[in-house]
Structure 1
């Protein structure tokens, strides 16, 4: 038995930091990765694709969002796609899965909405045991029923579930959808395909989180997410053979830098461009840049990092910028009269005086100085 294990597609996911262009690209890639999963299954000779929950990101997707993943799976009629609800798209009364059934599933797609064994192969030698979440959070173990579930003698039993294993987390009492870490042994499972964690995580020989097939968070990093697993099971008691395949397009990266000179700006630019030099448009970076720069260097920083590099990357999310260190000579760049010079003088007064407005005034003066320098330089 060979199948692809994936999870946490979260179709329709929103990204609060992203502008419309970036958001559209990220949402579209979560659909395109379904096609890559189908091609992976075909290339590896897998007959089935197991999706361990959170097909959708929320319980009320639009009609178009609801149908989009179904239509992608329809394009692979030679594959069988097995779906279960997760905590983001739990099987609630008149919820998203009721809408999916009304919309009509393709013949090659099965939504498992009952906790009961179902045959995966025509010969009845492999059975799927799907765990079903009927609410977002449950205090019980959604896989507990598998221990007593009956299947034919000698059949390969494959579990499919969404939740957290009990041995992880600092406060188990505060967690939900907890799954026994030894469930595969208790229930006689050859393999337990898990979803919920977005990074690949191998709990044991028979219990694995595939992670999301398209990375969706800076905390996962480019190598932490964006994978799917090709799993082969030869017999009920055989250790599964598992291969990890990268399926994601985007690389997400957290980067910190101390920027104080033109040379450190050079170094930061090189680091940012080196994340994926062949295609920087697939890179998203969350940048924390600390330090202090003169006006000339700050102008260079904004032009090269916030201008050129940011335009090359898919997204540059700046968490912190270096401080601007100005001198009396720097502030002479403003004309002695006029609105701009008057504004600069007032901001300088506020930035030098203690109070709630000090930090905001300093930041505003920094922006004004850099923009004024850039404008005068362009002129």
Structure 2
């Protein structure tokens, strides 16, 4: 039996420009930590090899330090690592891979297939057919040669490719690079390890996307895994076991808040999250002053507890009741300003923020007056 891990889309060097730097830096660091967990898992599970189906790096221009850190992260597993370039790190004439070789970063047990071909590992009974990308986009199926490529008799035939299985994935996949949906059958493969789709996905009995080991977007397509693949003999069906390795969990939620109970339910949702969680939260609705103040407290607590909170509350309005306005005792000029802001806040973020600030200041003035009385 031959056992290996299938992983892909490490995207080392990815930048998180939409995030505040204090969140972007840990999210980038998490990608190195995910690779370290994969190496530790490979050692723990006693696998024969680790296959990486492209996009090891997010760009061709990562620094020398980043290159060295990535290959150092492989150290825990001394067996063979088999890597192919993907669309983000294609094996151009001058590429991240040529730079890595020039810096002498690549360890002896890391086998980078910079050109389409076969790498034979007779000692573990494995022949890897690699459809390496030598340019970012291609309109031809680079796995086509698998059909006629001969491998030594008795060895398992495993394909390694990066691209889009035609007709089975959503339109927003990373690259155009097409792959025939029946390639495993046509090429007599025991297993076809794919990269490019960032979620874990089974195409057929012998064809899988592992997905990225560390989530990097708000999509519920099961990212954050590596696949353990057991092959008992040529022609036998593979046994595939997912392992969760992600350091962070990414969530996207939209909530409409109109009643105090809605705010309480949002508080329960936020309380269930912790420092591993990245949350994109869109809020809409109308809240009175007390509910709005409760919401601000909950959001402040969440921002301090979560890894990151991306907040969109453009459609959320502060709607003081007549009792709220009367209790604020905003007469004269302040009353006129308060009324103007209440009227203008819809579609005007500055007016909404100003209304919240003014209401808060008036509430604080009330409390101060009460303490002096």
TM-score strictly above 0.5? yes
Unaligned runs of 5+ in 1: none
Q: CA deviation at 1:154?
A: 2.7
Q: Quick one: structure 1 residues 250 and 361, their matched pair in 2 at CA, closer, same or farther if it must change by over 3 Å?
A: closer
Q: CA deviation at 1:351?
A: 6.1
Q: TM-score, normalised by structure 1?
A: 0.88
Q: CA deviation at 1:312?
A: 1.3
Q: Which residue of 2 aligns with 1:111?
A: 112
Tell me, what secondary structure is at the counterpart of 2:348? helix
Contact 1:7 1:53 in 2 (8 A): yes
Match 1:281 to one of 262, 275, 284: 275
After the TM superposition, which of the residue ranges 178-187 and 114-123 deviates more from structure 2?
A: 114-123
Unaligned runs of 5+ in 2: 369-373
Contact 1:191 1:206 in 2 (8 A): yes
Is 2:79 aligned against 1:79? yes
Q: Which residue of 2 aligns with 1:234?
A: 232
Distance 1:330 1:359 in 2: 21
Distance 2:163 2:367 in 1: 56
CA RMSD of aligned residues (A): 2.6
Q: Which residue of 2 aligns with 1:290?
A: 284
Q: Which residue of 2 aligns with 1:165?
A: 165
Q: TM-score, normalised by structure 2?
A: 0.89
Residue by residue over 1:247-294, the C-alpha shift from the partner in whole angstroms, topping out at 9 and shown as x without a partner, is 11211111222212222211111112224xxxx100111112222101
The 5 Å alignment of 1:195-344 reads 195-220=195-220, 224-275=222-273, 280-304=274-298, 306-320=299-313, 322-327=316-321, 330=324, 333=328
Residue by residue over 1:65-96, the C-alpha shift from the partner in whole angstroms, topping out at 9 and shown as x without a partner, is 222111111343x2211111111111112121
Q: Which residue of 2 aligns with 1:16?
A: 17
Residue by residue over 1:299-349, the C-alpha shift from the partner in whole angstroms, topping out at 9 and shown as x without a partner, is 111112x21122111111112352110246645748768xxx66x855753
Distance 1:8 1:378 in 2: 55
Residue by residue over 1:93-145, the C-alpha shift from the partner in whole angstroms, topping out at 9 and shown as x without a partner, is 2121111111221111111101111112337x320111111111110111111
Q: Quick one: structure 1 residues 137 and 265, their matched pair in 2 at CA, closer, same or farther if it must change by over 3 Å?
A: same
Q: Which residue of 1 aligns with 2:187?
A: 187
Report the count of equivalent residues.
Answer: 363
Q: Where in structure 1 do 4 or more consecutive aligned residues deviate above 4 Å?
A: 169-172, 327-332, 334-337, 344-348, 373-379
Distance 2:347 2:235 in 1: 68
Match 2:343 to one of 331, 335, 352: 352
